[in-house]
Amino acid sequence: MSVVARHFGVWTALGIVVSALIATGLLGLASADGAMGLIAAGLFAILGWQLIGVIASYFADVPGARVMSAALLGLIGLFVWEMVVSALNVPLVILPAPSVIAARIAREIPILWADFQQTFVKGALSGYVIGCLAAFLIAIAIDRSAFLQKGLLPVGNFVAALPIVGTAPILVMWFGFDWQSKAAVVVVMVFFPMLVNTVQGLREASVMQADLMRTYAAGYWQTLFKLRLPAAMPFVFNGLKISSTLALIGAIVAEFFGSPVLGMGFRISTSVGQLALDMVWAEIAVAALAGSLFYGTVALIERAMTFWHPSQRKT
């Protein structure tokens, strides 16, 4: 894999690559000269890739190796981005450097926090809870009718593939500019994915398991709570995970159609208009962080609740 590692032995190679990497990094950050920065960026990328190669070839089984290599790739990306932008004097209106974006984030924390509350907490989260809960309850309600299930599954799966975001202008018209309309968009967006997944999940319990419940003389509700809902959990969480990102997307895009002077979508569209691209990137960073944390939280709850499922097994 790694040419350096083959010649010098793993640990020596690791030492050489890491120290060279740090040296190039410092050199790049200290260089005032454009050409120098570009060379440092190129060198940093090559050395970093070598290091990932060493990790992948010799330390792949060490816990945290995957995180390390991913973080390293992210670091390479950030460094090259920073170097290229400053070396080529890329104007702010095209691509701001990561350091500029970070400075902007640090300066605008109150605004970012207010936008986050407006869009994420009020719009996305409330819509997510309402939409997912409604879909879950309706899925259980139609669960007794095989006819309805047969009809709803394909229709729901079809609707889930449609550009539902497009309903945003209508819902903004109905519910006004404030967060209620954003929550409504989110409800509509998450409803069908959640419904389809729950209905599908409730069909998961096998005939044999259902027969076993019958031999225990379990009633409908007992079978539902003790067998079929637990069996449906992987699907329910699949729906919840898909919905978690849809919720944020819905809330942000709905703000493009009208919002109070607050919110992530509003800030993105107005900052784009003012060509304040560093602010746009700051909002995107917040959105990315919020989206990943939201998804990660749902995934963690899933792991705790469906620990028995084969897909949760550690390989």
Q: Which of 87, 279 has the CB closer to another protein?
A: 279
Residues from 224 through 243 that contact another protein (CB under 8 A): 234-235, 238-239, 241-243
Q: Could you tell me which stretch among 24-32, 39-47, 61-69, 175-183 binds another protein (CB under 8 A)? A: 61-69
Residues from 166 through 185 that contact another protein (CB under 8 A): 166-167, 169-170, 172-174
Helices (H), 59-145: 65-87, 98-107, 109-116, 126-141
Residues from 30 through 59 that contact another protein (CB under 8 A): 49, 52-53, 55-57
Q: How many residues bind another protein (CB under 8 A)?
A: 90
Residues from 184 through 213 that contact another protein (CB under 8 A): 189-190, 192-193, 196-197, 200, 204
Q: 10 Å Cβ neighbour count for 49?
A: 15
Length of the chain: 315
CA-based nearest residue to 127, from 173, 194, 199, 196? 194
Please report whether residue 118 would count as binding another protein according to CB under 8 A: no
Summary count for the chain: helices (H), strands (E): 15, 0
Please report whether residue 101 would count as binding another protein according to CB under 8 A: no
Q: Could you tell me which stretch among 3-11, 24-32, 106-114, 287-295 binds another protein (CB under 8 A)? A: 287-295
Please report whether residue 104 would count as binding another protein according to CB under 8 A: no
Cα(133)–Cα(125) distance, integer angstroms: 12
CA-based nearest residue to 185, from 254, 259, 269? 254
Please report whether residue 163 would count as binding another protein according to CB under 8 A: yes
Contact between 77 and 83 under an 8 Å Cβ cutoff? The reply is no
Least distance (Å) between residue 77 CB and another protein:
9
Least distance (Å) between residue 72 CB and another protein:
7
For CA atoms 70, 74, 76, 77, give the dihedral sign: positive
Question: How many CA atoms lie less than 13 Å away from 145 in the CB half-sphere?
Answer: 10
Least distance (Å) between residue 286 CB and another protein:
10
Cα–Cα separations (whole angstroms), residue 290 to 117, 175, 242: 11, 25, 15
Please report whether residue 257 would count as binding another protein according to CB under 8 A: yes
Q: Could you tell me which stretch among 17-25, 109-117, 178-186, 285-293 binds another protein (CB under 8 A)? A: 285-293
Cα(277)–Cα(283) distance, integer angstroms: 10
Least distance (Å) between residue 186 CB and another protein:
11
Please report whether residue 147 would count as binding another protein according to CB under 8 A: yes
